[in-house]
Amino acid sequence: MLSKSFDNGMICASEQAVILDEAIYDAALAEFRTLHAHLATAEEKAKLETFLFPVGAAGAGCEPKVNSAAVGQSPAWIAEQAGFSVPDDTSLILVEADRVGADEPLTREKLCPVLAVLRTGSEQQGFDLAADMVAFHGQGHSAVIHTEDPALAEAYGRRMKTVRIIVNAPSSQGAIGGIYNSLLPSLTLGCGSWGSTSVSNNVSAAQLLNVKRVS
Of 12, 62, 112, 191, the catalytic one is 12
Tell me: the pLDDT tens digits for 172-204?
999 999 999 999 999 999 999 999 999 999 999
| 63: Cβ contacts below 8 Å, ≥ 6 apart | none
In a domain, 158, yes or no: no
Mean pLDDT score, 155-168: 97
For the chain, the average pLDDT equals: 94
In a domain, 176, yes or no: no
DSSP 215: -
Mean pLDDT score, 108-134: 97
Please indicate, yes or no, whether the overall pTM of this predicted structure exceeds 0.85.
yes
CATH number of the domain encompassing residue 107: 3.40.309.10
| 122: Cβ contacts below 8 Å, ≥ 6 apart | none
pLDDT at 99: 96
Specify whether 62 is catalytic: no
pLDDT at 62: 64
pLDDT at 63: 76
| Domain range enclosing 132 | 2-138
What is the count of structural domains for the chain? 1
| 205: Cβ contacts below 8 Å, ≥ 6 apart | none
In a domain, 103, yes or no: yes
Mean pLDDT score, 2-31: 96
- Split at pLDDT 50, 70, 90, the class of 120 is very high
pLDDT at 64: 84
